[in-house]
Structure 1
Amino acid sequence: MKYLISLAISLFLLISASAFSNEPEAEDTRISLDLTKSEKVLFLTEMRQMLVSIQGILQGIGEDDRALIIKSAQYSGNRMARATPESIKKKTPSEFKELGGPTHMMFEELVIRAEDDDLESLTLLTSEILKNCVACHSQFKAD
């Protein structure tokens, strides 16, 4: 009896494993930016800074700390766009620039609006920035 139970469990595991191994591998259809290794490091550093900015903005909104919102947003505005190396700018397609440019401008808008706008509208603007981030990451990959 123990032998039959062990055999049944073994067969179940074998069948389960083979069923999962036959699943087709999902294809990544995002557009590659074809960056060199060093460009990729710089580019991903910028992306992480944008996440840090979003985190600081949300913390500032939560704590009603407008100075933190402004400081955090400034890091990912036009300053970042201007600091991007030309070699990376040349490799980014127009579709990328159509998302990236306005996103950096939205950070700049947040800097200005953080002085006087209500926190709810700042939250909504931050949400719009994140929509652009999601759209970009859904369309492009840094490799």
Structure 2
Amino acid sequence: MRFSLPFLTLLLGLLIGAAGFAWLDTGRIAAPGEDPRLAIRLTPDERAHVRGEMLEFLNGVAVISDAALAGDRETIAETADALKRGDGGGQAIRQKVPEGFRLMSRDLRQGFAGISEMAATADMESIQRATAETLHRCAACHGSYRVIPQSRRPAGLATPPDG
């Protein structure tokens, strides 16, 4: 079985993204020292929501890649369309995260919107390129931010900040 260069590039990107996902909680990076990524403090439920969305994005990229190889425009459109919308469950999270994170999230969803729009008429190589570009957005976010547990009671405070 032969694979195209864009597919192999995309597969490598998925593997790198999955490795970044595995490091999300620990903050470990290859170089010794402190993790330079900006920490975003979220509650356990918020962290679970973010993780769920990231997993949906990775799975969606894999589905779109497979569909592009098979020439399945309907699956490409349906998958990308679902990923561009989200489930609306992240409203509270959007209020807590930095502007840069919100912009990256919006840009990622716009990338999926573009893939959805091009699914009907674009050549499969263009769809694969757009999918790879979207995956690069995932990698950029993982390289910039990390999600850590929100402290229930920061040092020096008698009551938790959220109540």
TM-score bracket relative to the smaller structure: 0.7 to 0.9
Which runs of no fewer than 5 residues in structure 1 stay unpaired?
A: 1-23
1:137 correspondence with 2:142: yes
Q: What's the RMSD between the two structures over aligned residues?
A: 1.4
Whole-angstrom distance in 2 between the partners of 1:127 and 1:25: 30
| TM-superposed deviation, 1:118 | 0.3
Corresponding residue for residue 47 of structure 1: 54
Structure 1 SS opposite 2:42: coil
Deviating more after overlay: 112-121 vs 94-103: 94-103
Which runs of no fewer than 5 residues in structure 2 stay unpaired?
A: 1-30, 149-163
Cα distance per residue 1:32-68 (max 9 Å; x no partner) = 1100111000110001000111011001001111111
Aligned length: 118
Whole-angstrom distance in 2 between the partners of 1:99 and 1:29: 18
2:74 equivalent among 67, 75, 89: 67
Structure 2 SS opposite 1:32: strand
For the Cα contact (< 8 Å) 1:76–1:104, is it kept in 2? yes
In the TM superposition, 1:86-105 aligns within 5 A as 86-105=91-110
In the TM superposition, 1:102-141 aligns within 5 A as 102-141=107-146
For the Cα contact (< 8 Å) 1:44–1:142, is it kept in 2? no
Q: Percent identity?
A: 26
Matching residue's letter, 2:62: Q
Structure 1 SS opposite 2:139: helix
Which of structure 1's runs of 4+ aligned residues deviate more than 3 A?
Answer: none
Calculate the TM-score normalised by the size of structure 2: 0.68
Higher helix fraction (1 or 2): 1
Whole-angstrom distance in 2 between the partners of 1:131 and 1:85: 22
